[in-house]
Amino acid sequence: MTTSAGAGISLLVPLLLLALSTTSTVSSARPDKADDVIQLPSSASRFFRSGGVDDDADSTGTRWAVLIAGSNGYWNYRHQADVCHAYQILKKGGLKDENIIVFMYDDIAYNVENPRPGVIINSPHGDDVYKGVPKDYTGEDVTVGNIFAAILGDKSALTGGSGKVLDSGPNDHIFIYYTDHGGPGVLGMPTSPYMYADDLNDVLKKKHASGTYKSLVFYLEACESGSIFEGLLPEGLNIYATTASNAEESSWGTYCPGDYPSPPPEYETCLGDLYSVAWMEDCKWHILTFYLTCLLISDVHNLRRESVHQQYELVKSRTSNDNSPYGSHVMQYGDMPLSKDMLAMYMGTNPANENFTFVDQNAIIPPVKAVNQRDADLVHFWDKYRKAPEGSARKTEAEKQVMEAMSHRMHVDNSMKLIAKLLFGINKGSEVLSAVRPAGQPLVDDWKCLKTLVRTFETHCGSLSQYGMKHMRSVANMCNAGIGKDQMNEAASQACVSFPTSPWSSLQKGFSA
């Protein structure tokens, strides 16, 4: 791109505003099928009482954890910040490093864009959460294959990394946390291929069949994350999962430039994700000499007195953002009785917090705004452009990144629309793209077809990338309508004669192997 910053700005603002308005998905009111499964007393979310709780209920077996940040690139700062924060919580809770497996690309802490080299924060006034985090699987070792091998305890299937796996036994408790971009039926990765829902659920079934855990809790942060388990995770596996959103909506970044609360002024990226900070922070805000302070649930609360379900309810309330357009519907899947377990069974608890038993639900204050996960890169590029001195190389670079991101978005959107018209006709094409299956049904009947059509699309049209994940439902609908590889190949070759580069081209891989 040869356009100067001055010449390009006339196009930059309207394109940016168009993208932010068209890609922000208003939360749909998809019902939580498990909302009425467990009935708690009305006071349960406010008072976590010691009566009736067995302090030794979690004393048998070992606690294990797998923490996964599925992205790279400084504009995705928040995902690695989430994982680092989660590690600090588990470490303070008493889990040993040998039982915590961390997957993160590790390109944030010492990134040239990071205003505090060697430091990662997860909230505006937060402490460094990067210090001490194990570097188990970093860079090109953050792969779907290594994640699955680690979960299954299969050291022979690993390629690189520390070699650490879930060497768990039948009495052990496992906590898995994933945070990144996602789309219907898929989760992002910094390497190829991406993680598909059917493969993940197959791995969880294999883990259960191996008899190497007593219970497993899975927290999942991603757009359309409900689609990863909906219609796919059966009961009877002793697995309980919660997701940041239902199967149709986006999840949200928080502590972003221009938001309130906002990051420190030197930061040009979102510091966290709304669902993730909601489970890691159960905030009680106090105004002290014009400062807002936040008490972290993991650092302050006695997790022996709070159940998984109680946290689910609090997180659900905060993440919905009062059902505003800046929020999503937290969901739950799998074996609901496990949600009665105390959080300490999976996260441990800080001995210094044994006397902390009270949570004021009304004190949870969601952010005034949040950023659609798929728009967080634009927010970063725009803030970088806005702050850069006129005529500087940094301003030119930021402008180029915004324009390339916008070009890539328009290319992916237009290509998918044209392919649908070629396959189904002008009138029916848009109908097929937007169809949504009833709640409780999986995204697609034939997952092999979905993967094949995605590979075929990317062969002709370039990587879908983190933004293009939103179109996974459209491709699934093509499979459900009987479209095969040959038909997609012909349509995609006509629709995509060429495709533009993207600002993530050197980092962000596609779905294909």
Give the residue numbers marked as catalytic.
181, 223
d(CA 271, CA 122): 5
Name the DSSP letter for residue 232. Answer: T
Q: Which of 392, 376, 185, 399 has the alpha carbon at shortest distance from 269?
A: 376
Question: Going by C-beta distance under 8 Å and a sequence separation of 6 or more, which residues neighbour residue 25?
Answer: 248, 249, 250, 372
Instruction: Tell whether omega for the bond before 193 is within 30 degrees of 0, i.e. cis.
Output: yes
The token pair at 320 is: 């919905």
Bridge partners, 287 (sequence order): 292
d(CA 494, CA 61): 58
The token pair at 93 is: 């809770």
d(CA 176, CA 65): 6
Q: Count CA atoms within 13 Å of residue 63 on its CB side.
A: 21
Name the DSSP letter for residue 192. Answer: S
d(CA 360, CA 46): 5
β-pairing, 182-183 vs 63-69, is: unpaired
The helix/strand/coil state of 420 is: helix
d(CA 413, CA 25): 15
β-pairing, 186-187 vs 173-179, is: unpaired
**Strand order through the sheet with 100-103:** 100-103, 63-69, 173-179, 215-221, 239-243, 331-334
d(CA 137, CA 115): 25
The helix/strand/coil state of 332 is: strand
CA torsion 475-481-487-488 (nearest 10°) is 0
Instruction: Tell whether omega for the bond before 261 is within 30 degrees of 0, i.e. cis.
Output: yes
Task: Please work out, in degrees rounded to the nearest 5, the angle formed at the alpha carbon of residue 503 by the alpha carbons of 501 and 505.
Answer: 60
Burial of 17 (0-12, 13-18, 19+ CB in 10 A): exposed
CB 256 within 8 A of CB 250: no
CB 67 within 8 A of CB 102: yes
